[in-house]
Chain A
Amino acid sequence: GDVSSCDNPSGTEPSGTNRDLSTDSKSGEDTRSDSSSRIVNGSDCQKDAQPWQGALLLGPNKLYCGAVLISPQWLLTAAHCRKPVFRIRLGHHSMSPVYESGQQMFQGIKSIPHPGYSHPGHSNDLMLIKMNRKIRDSHSVKPVEIACDCATEGTRCMVSGWGTTSSSHNNFPKVLQCLNITVLSEERCKNSYPGQIDKTMFCAGDEEGRDSCQGDSGGPVVCNGKLQGLVSWGDFPCAQRNRPGVYTNLCEFVKWIKDTMNSN
């Protein structure tokens, strides 16, 4: 019952807005990156700009997937990120395991992948994780609302995660990375990946070819303050022109998510 019903949309937007980097050095970097093409697939996120971003860890310093907080006790992530044990870290900004103020650690006690998930085709790629206790609400940790309507072509969204920042080498960023992407049309999406796109997927990318990459799976795609998708799959190497990333279309699963959380 914590998640508000789609019939009563909330007018308030989540706290924290995306702002461009303002420092000159940052601008200089951007300028050089643009000219060099695909040097950087994103930029550092501002602290507490993504309070719903979660990290799934295999060890103290071994992140393998991202996650999204959608309820005080429930996370949403990709179905292919399923593991026997879930270590969840919320309210953290940097990659290092050094303690930060505002961070919260949890254990997953139940994981429910979507029954329609199929490994080869990656359809229905989403999974619910129940935490061992509810969050302590703060400016660093807040749930995000799921969008009731599907995104239209041209919608601006932000994707975030701690995935690798270069496709050729496994270089991981120091802090959380954010990237502005645009939703592409279904036709264009199918042309890029013929025979592999269905209604549970949508494509989003950057005109300059920037993209999410390995390590970002399960991370949020937030459009207009609503959770629209999860990082799922795409071509390798990442960040190729005309080869956008493919994301799970959450507007198709609102009812399943609500029913599952209520019955578990």
Chain B
Amino acid sequence: EKGNQDPCMKFQAQMKNGTLTCPKGNNSSQSLNDIIFQSECILCKRALEQGAPTKIMNVKVLSRANRATDPAKLNCESFKQRRKDGDFICPSDTSSVCGTDGKTYRSRCELCAENAKSQNHVDVKSEGECGSSHLETDMCSDFRAYVQDGRLGCTRESDPILGPDGRTHGNRCAMCAELFLKEAKENATRNRESRIRRDAEKELCKEFENQVRNGRLFCTRESDPIRGPDGKMHGNKCALCAEIFMRQFTEEKGKAEKNQKDAEERAKAKMEIQKRCSEFQDRARNGTLFCTRENDPIRGLDGKTHGNLCSMCQAFFKTEAEEKKAEAGSRNRRGSEESETYAKLCDEYRKARKNGQLYCTRENAPIRGPDGKIHGNTCSMCQAFFIQEDKARAKVKREAAKEMCSEFRNQARNGMLMCTRENDPVVGPDGKRHSNKCAMCASVFLLEEEEKKKDDKTEKVDAGKAKKEAVQELCRKYHTQLRNGPLRCTRRNNPIEGLDGKMYKNACFMCWAFFQQEAKKSGAGFRPKVKREVKVDCSEYLALSKRGEIFCTRENDPVRGPDGKTHGNKCAMCKAVFKKENEERKRKEGENQRITSGESSSGGNPKAKDECAQYRESMKHGQLSCTRESDPVRGVDGEHYNNKCVMCKELLQKEMEETNKNSASRSNGTGSATGKDVCDQFRSQMKNGKLLCTRESDPTRGPDGAMHGNKCAMCKERLEKEAAEKKKKEDEEKRNTETNKSDKEDKCHEYRSMQLDGRLICTRENDPVRDADGKMHVNKCAMCQMMFEREANERKMREENSRSQPTNEAKDQCGEVHNSVEDAKPRPARSSLPSIRGISKDECSEFQNLMKNEKLTCPETDDPVRGADGTFYQNKCHMCRDVLKNEAMKRSGLQEKSSDIRSTKEGDPEFSSSSRDSDMCKNYRILPRMGYLCPKNLNPVCGDDGQTYSNPCMLCHENLMRQTNTRIHKQGACEESSNLKTVSTGTPASEKMMQ
């Protein structure tokens, strides 16, 4: 080796970039030395380049020394001198480093020693320990799945990559293959060492194994130093073993946790795959799935690679199905094993069993039984086990028996089977020996029938209980009545079957029997005692009760009454008892009356009849007069009366009421017939609602229950009543007719025929009457006159509105003016009026055409003439001018009236003005035949007729006197100058009248 080493050292310097260039031996003239040199060069070239492990170790060292000149490189030269026998002796307490292969070395020296040992080129990656092997994992994670026994098959393309060990590999797969191989070796070595160490520890600590509990060993405290396999010194052997056991326990715990974690991860992966395979779930049949053939490689749960998702799921479902089968098989096996276990466990108790019963002790040793429950101890568990066993055995036997006897079932009738007599002995399910199969089956059927009957009996008992409950429910409503003594039932026929199977008339009777039966069962003797006590206790108060009322003292002496309540004292209790007794008596009487309602009323109340017979004849028209003596007596209804007459009075009145009701109901059917038959013979004798009767005495009861002297007297009263009713009806009709007549009279009916052409001529009497609109008129005729005139005016106005000829209007207005003037002038100088009217009409017509723009121009000739209003004018033209002007003003006034009417329709304030006029006139006194009493103040108002009045009262006075309806046009005097004369003329007239 040394000889080999020496020749190559001289070639080391010639190497460049890891390659050695050797001269070629082509020249034949080379000397021997040259040939030898060439051979040596070639040999060293291969050795240096290929790195033969054993021969070129020193060369590697030299190569590494050359690399040491690089400051970034690991410098192992300084550790070379300390080498012994090829191993590095490294000093301790040196900082650790992380190599490029991902491992942690305690020092750089150890890293160099490892490199020398394994001929690697690991360099220093970083100071300190390696955090993790991320690099290796990241680079090789995708190859890890394909490793088998640490071996990885690689493709053979060239993709040089520098590995963590500092070497260059052909491709990534080759690098990872080497890493995995190394890893596998290390794992194997570690496992081997671990096994050796564990065996040594076990041998050493054998004597302490029994004392360990949960990895803890309690030791004595002597000092006996001993070196353990881990190189540490321990106090004594026990302490050493304690540490060993603790470490083992910890390791096992960690392993268990790791297994659990792995199981969880596996379950998670399984769940994920199940989710991905869910789309194929419905297509799987018994774990078989048919897939397409496309190539989409995917790794399955079993670590294999499948062609596509479908084939992976196929394998998954198949595995699941197989697991299910295996589990089912194991479960069945486990079940049978458990059963055998129970059988073995309970053998010792089988002998103790008697007639299917097992008597157990009471100790508490919980154990799970075959039914899944926890039993107190083994004995009770075996008890349940035996019961289960018996049931199963009986079931099997019963089924066998059914199978055997199926051929005879058709012949069985009510559990009876007719058999032949041949002798063919057979053992039945009950363990007995029967003469033949038919006899055995007969026995089986008989037992079945008995069981059925038992079931029926049980059902009957249940039915009976249910029925009783139903009856109790039905009779609950009668329970409250039971307290007041015996139960009183109606007599209607509603048959119902009772609890004892009997038929009762109705539910009430059945419940009464039911309650009696229950009372017999529980304390039947209690009731008579209560009754006796009541009688004895309250007898002293019976005499005190008057009219059903008892007045009690106020001491406190509690006592329980028969109704179960507690009363303040005995007196209060007896009061309640008497009250209840009275109520019962009343109810009984009511029922008796109801029962006998079908019979004649005279049949009932014989006592009343007997007592009151002497008063029946005294009754007249349902009234009975009684004397005032005081003779207290208790009536049938339990009330107290002053004397017998008063009692009979009330009784007879009640009878009459009932009789009336009966007669009323009877009249629907036979009442009228009876009346007809009885009184028909007297109907023809009536005259003017009167009937004359004879005086014989033949007492007869009428339909109203009253007694009459004879039949004629009864019919007289009846027929006269009918006649009175008829008369009353006729009177009502007359009254209605009179009302209609009076209505007509109120509306001026009597004057309507007297009016001619809308005008009414009235008398002059002074009989003031207020109109409907509140105005006062001299007499009724004047009021109707005003009304008729208003109607005529309205009619005319309606006609005039349709007409549009002013000339005609003017003419008509002139006519009206004349009429009003005539009406307004009730003076003695009446003879001159017609001539004046004619003059004005004939004379003014010639001036009509001369008017221009409603103005008349008159000459100034002096021809005095008196006008219609009594004023003197200069000439005729002036008079006609005023007349025509007045007409125009009246026309405008009519327009105002129209506007007033329109305002009235529209609800304008002018209507309120009209109302004010009416209200205004109410404030003044009216004297008969004199008119209004007016004050003498000067408050001029202008009327809508163009006249000025000294005050509003004067206007009312004029309206009353002339029967006009002038309204206030405005406050103050009228603006025309001619009106001043009128005013002066008017004032003397009113003064004259007042005087």
Closest Cβ of chain A: how far from B63's Cβ, in Å?
13
Question: Which residue of the partner chain A has the closest CB to B168?
Answer: A170
Known A-B contacts A119-B297, A237-B178; the reply to A170 vs B160 at CB < 8 A is yes
Instruction: Enumerate chain A residues within 8 angstroms of B177, measured Cβ to Cβ.
Output: 235-237
Is B151 part of the binding interface, using a Cβ–Cβ cutoff of 8 Å?
yes
Within 8 A of B (CB), among A7-60: 25, 28-29, 36, 39
Question: How far, in whole Å, are A171 and B160 apart by their CA atoms in the complex?
Answer: 10
Question: How far, in whole Å, are A172 and B158 apart by their CA atoms in the complex?
Answer: 10
Is A231 part of the binding interface, using a Cβ–Cβ cutoff of 8 Å?
yes
Within 8 A of A (CB), among B135-182: 145-146, 151-160, 167-171, 173-174, 177-178, 181
Known A-B contacts A25-B39, A170-B170; the reply to A121 vs B305 at CB < 8 A is yes
Question: How far, in whole Å, are A36 and B56 apart by their CA atoms in the complex?
Answer: 14
Closest Cβ of chain A: how far from B55's Cβ, in Å?
10
Is A229 part of the binding interface, using a Cβ–Cβ cutoff of 8 Å?
no
Is B939 part of the binding interface, using a Cβ–Cβ cutoff of 8 Å?
no
Instruction: Enumerate chain A residues within 8 angstroms of B157, measured Cβ to Cβ.
Output: 64-65, 78, 80-81, 214-215, 217-218
Question: How far, in whole Å, are A151 and B52 apart by their CA atoms in the complex?
Answer: 36
Question: How far, in whole Å, are A235 and B42 apart by their CA atoms in the complex?
Answer: 31
Question: How far, in whole Å, are A207 and B403 apart by their CA atoms in the complex?
Answer: 78
Q: Is the CB of A233 within 8 A of B168?
A: no
Instruction: Enumerate chain B residues within 8 angstroms of A249, measured Cβ to Cβ.
Output: none
Q: Is the CB of A164 within 8 A of B167?
A: no
Q: Is the CB of A217 within 8 A of B155?
A: yes
- Hey, what's the 0/1 contact readout for A196-213 against B, CB within 8 Å counting as 1? 100000000000000011
Question: Which residue of the partner chain A has the closest CB to B50?
Answer: A166
Q: Is the CB of A163 within 8 A of B156?
A: yes
Residue from B156, B167, B177 having most chain A Cβ neighbours under 10 A: B156
- Hey, what's the 0/1 contact readout for B10-54 against A, CB within 8 Å counting as 1? 000000000000000100000000000001001000100111100
- Hey, what's the 0/1 contact readout for A145-181 against B, CB within 8 Å counting as 1? 0000000000000000011111111111000000000
Closest Cβ of chain B: how far from A21's Cβ, in Å?
14
Is B295 part of the binding interface, using a Cβ–Cβ cutoff of 8 Å?
yes
Question: Which residue of the partner chain B has the closest CB to A166?
Answer: B50
- One of A120, A164, A234 near B154 (C-beta < 8 A): A234
Question: How far, in whole Å, are A164 and B161 apart by their CA atoms in the complex?
Answer: 13
Is A122 part of the binding interface, using a Cβ–Cβ cutoff of 8 Å?
yes
Q: Is the CB of B297 within 8 A of A193?
A: no
Question: How far, in whole Å, are A236 and B173 apart by their CA atoms in the complex?
Answer: 9
Known A-B contacts A65-B157, A116-B295, A236-B174; the reply to A170 vs B50 at CB < 8 A is no
Residue from B52, B160, B170, B173 having most chain A Cβ neighbours under 10 A: B170
Closest Cβ of chain B: how far from A213's Cβ, in Å?
6
Q: Is the CB of A163 within 8 A of B158?
A: yes
Closest Cβ of chain B: how far from A162's Cβ, in Å?
8
Q: Is the CB of B42 within 8 A of A236?
A: no
Instruction: Enumerate chain B residues within 8 angstroms of A237, measured Cβ to Cβ.
Output: 174, 177-178, 181
Question: How far, in whole Å, are A64 and B39 apart by their CA atoms in the complex?
Answer: 32
Question: Which residue of the partner chain A has the closest CB to B120?
Answer: A168
- One of A118, A166, A232 near B156 (C-beta < 8 A): A232
Q: Is the CB of A118 within 8 A of B155?
A: no
Is A251 part of the binding interface, using a Cβ–Cβ cutoff of 8 Å?
no
Known A-B contacts A116-B295, A119-B297, A120-B146; the reply to A233 vs B154 at CB < 8 A is yes
Question: How far, in whole Å, are A36 and B52 apart by their CA atoms in the complex?
Answer: 10
Known A-B contacts A39-B50, A168-B167, A170-B169; the reply to A217 vs B156 at CB < 8 A is yes
Question: Which residue of the partner chain A has the closest CB to B51?
Answer: A169
Q: Is the CB of B151 within 8 A of A214?
A: no
Instruction: Enumerate chain B residues within 8 angstroms of A235, measured Cβ to Cβ.
Output: 151-154, 177
Is A246 part of the binding interface, using a Cβ–Cβ cutoff of 8 Å?
yes
Instruction: Enumerate chain A residues within 8 angstroms of B42, measured Cβ to Cβ.
Output: 25, 29
Question: How far, in whole Å, are A122 and B154 apart by their CA atoms in the complex?
Answer: 10
Within 8 A of B (CB), among A88-126: 115-116, 118-122, 125
Within 8 A of A (CB), among B636-653: none
Question: How far, in whole Å, are A238 and B168 apart by their CA atoms in the complex?
Answer: 15
Instruction: Enumerate chain B residues within 8 angstroms of A170, measured Cβ to Cβ.
Output: 160, 167-170
Closest Cβ of chain A: how far from B170's Cβ, in Å?
2
A–B pairs, 29, beta carbons within 8 Å = A25-B39, A64-B157, A78-B157, A80-B157, A81-B157, A118-B295, A122-B155, A163-B158, A164-B158, A166-B50, A166-B51, A168-B167, A169-B50, A169-B167, A170-B168, A170-B170, A214-B174, A217-B155, A217-B156, A232-B155, A232-B156, A233-B153, A235-B151, A235-B152, A236-B151, A236-B153, A236-B181, A237-B174, A245-B156
The 8 lowest CB-CB distance pairs between A and B, nearest first, are: A214-B170, A215-B158, A236-B177, A170-B168, A217-B157, A217-B156, A233-B155, A64-B158
